[in-house]
Structure 1
Amino acid sequence: MIYPIVAYGDPVLRTKAQDIPQDYPELNKLIEDMFETMYHAHGVGLAAPQIGKSIRLFVIDSKPFMEEGEEDKGVKKAFINPVMVEESGEEWGFDEGCLSIPGVREEVWRQENIRIRYYDENWVQHEDAFDDLTARVIQHEYDHIEGILFTDHLSGLKKRLLKGKLTKISKGDVDADYRMKFAGLGKR
């Protein structure tokens, strides 16, 4: 099932998500649907709040970011109840976008290395290290479950310059090639 993507302006995107209990109904189906939704929208990551569920779950597939011939360095994974253990290394800028904020891309600075603890879809706990673009995708999606958007990392000036675009998105005045859900307006 392909979910509509929740647009900027919906309070679920600003809410710190809740841990998922092990008996969460049909969790594997939800994860499968999130991957399907992410691929349909041409994304490399999708967090549960972006489909209207305030739970600590996100999926990523960083393979499209990898250079030709290095796709095996990409990571396809679900993260359940993740906890960021460490962010380290040099900060570097990268032009980020977000499925919930279509048509907006800005340079965001993040540290190059992370260590994260999480459960996989079989409720096996892991603590793994990631770097470069895979770390960035994870940091972006982790921010979503903390109620943080990539635009929160921008300077005050950049935020003011984007205010009009963000307001339009929140009111449903946006072009996206996937279904979206707008706070108070429903699906389009």
Structure 2
Amino acid sequence: MQETKRSILQLGNPLLRQVARPIENPQDLALQELVEELLQSMEQANGVGIAAPQMGISKQLVIIASRPTPRYPDAPEMPPTPMLNPRLVDHSDEMEKGWEGCLSVPGIRGLVPRYTSVTVDYLDCHGQSQQKILHDFVARIFQHEYDHLQGIVFVDRVESTRELMSEQEYQRQIIGSTL
């Protein structure tokens, strides 16, 4: 796997706080290349999702790719799913707090309340309209990445600073291992 051209932006970069622009042409060759670059960056960082704004690209593009990684050893397996111009169109009444990390906020985890089920509309890489109902961890990933398109980072959703933890302590206390 080759190295990507761009690096993942870190918390404090003003581009992470901007609302991403809609994608005009889903079949643009440059967009297909961006999807590949996002996939590579996410995989290299052991992520389970990534949004174009994290790479400094103001486009409404997220990739959801749940799979077991050292950061999320119990994650369910699913094929990587690029979502262009995604919209959250419905959600469960039930919310649940769960631990989240972010490739743009290395070394920190936070307990974040999220809907347990969401219905999303999006375009696939061929410009075809899709709708999916996502549950539990995959719904959490989507909401986390969708927030990036709105200029929101997971630490904005933590209800108390007491619900933040270092990655090292998270691995030790919650996962029961050391990275």
TM-score, scaled to structure 1: 0.77
- Deviation beyond 4 Å, 4+ runs, structure 1: 65-68
Q: CA deviation at 1:136?
A: 0.5
Structure 2 residue runs of 5 or longer lacking an equivalent are 167-179
Partner of 2:146: 142
Structure 1 residue aligned with 2:174: none
TM-score when normalising by structure 2: 0.81
The superposition leaves residues 127-154 of structure 1 with CA deviations (integer Å, 9 ceiling, x where unpaired) of 1111011110000000000111101112
Partner of 1:122: 126
Distance 2:116 2:125 in 1: 26
- Aligned residue pairs: how many? 158
SS at match of 1:38: helix
Higher relative contact order (CA 8 A, sep 6+): 1
Task: Please state whether the residue corresponding to 1:39 is helix, strand or coil.
Answer: helix
- 1:75·1:134 contact (CA, 8 Å) conserved in 2? no
- Structure 1 residues 158 and 30: alpha-carbon distance in aligned structure 2, compared to 1, 3 A threshold: same
Q: Percent identity?
A: 36
Q: Is 2:62 the partner of 1:58? A: yes
**1:1-80 matches, cutoff 5 A:** 1-2=3-4, 3-22=6-25, 24-64=28-68, 67=74, 71=77, 74-80=78-84
Rate the CA distance shift 1:67–1:100 in 2: closer, same or farther, 3 A.
Answer: closer
1:98 is the counterpart of 2:102: yes
Q: CA deviation at 1:89?
A: 3.6
The Cα offsets for residues 42-82 of structure 1, whole Å up to 9 and x where unpaired, read as 111110000000110011211225859x63xx342001011
Contact 1:79–1:120, Cα closer than 8 Å, also in 2: yes
Contact 1:63 1:76 survives alignment (8 Å) = no
RMSD: 2.2
Describe the shift of the 1:95–1:154 C-alpha distance in structure 2 as closer, same or farther (beyond 3 A): same
